[in-house]
Structure 1
Amino acid sequence: MDVLIHVFVALHIIGIGALLGGFLTQMKAMGAGTARFTPAMLHGALTMLVTGIALVGIHQAEGHTVDHVKIGVKLAILVVILGLVYVKRDEEKVDKALFGAVGGLTMANIFIATLWV
Structure 2
Amino acid sequence: MDVLTNVFVGLHIIGIASLLGGFLTQMKAMGDGTARFSPAMVHGALTMLVTGVVLVGLNQADDQPVNNLKIGIKLAVLIVILALVYVKRDEERADKSLFGLVGALTVVNIFLAVLWT
Interval containing the TM-score (normalised by the shorter chain): over 0.9
Runs of 4+ with >2 A deviation: none
Q: Give yes or no for the alignment of 1:71 onto 2:54.
A: no
Say what the alpha-carbon RMSD is for the aligned residues. Answer: 0.3
Q: Deviations over 1:25-83 (max 9, x none)?
A: 01000000000000000000000000000000000011111000000000000000000
Q: Which 5+ residue runs of structure 1 have no aligned equivalent?
A: none
Cross-structure match for 1:39? 39
Q: How many residues align?
A: 117
Mapped partners of 2:29, 2:3: distance in 1: 40
Q: Which 5+ residue runs of structure 2 have no aligned equivalent?
A: none
TM-score for the superposition, normalised by structure 2? 0.99
Cross-structure match for 1:4? 4
TM-score for the superposition, normalised by structure 1? 0.99
Identity %: 72
Q: Give the alignment of 1:38-117 within 5 angstroms.
A: 38-117=38-117
Mapped partners of 1:20, 1:58: distance in 2: 25
Mapped partners of 2:96, 2:11: distance in 1: 29
Cross-structure match for 1:26? 26
Mapped partners of 2:109, 2:82: distance in 1: 13
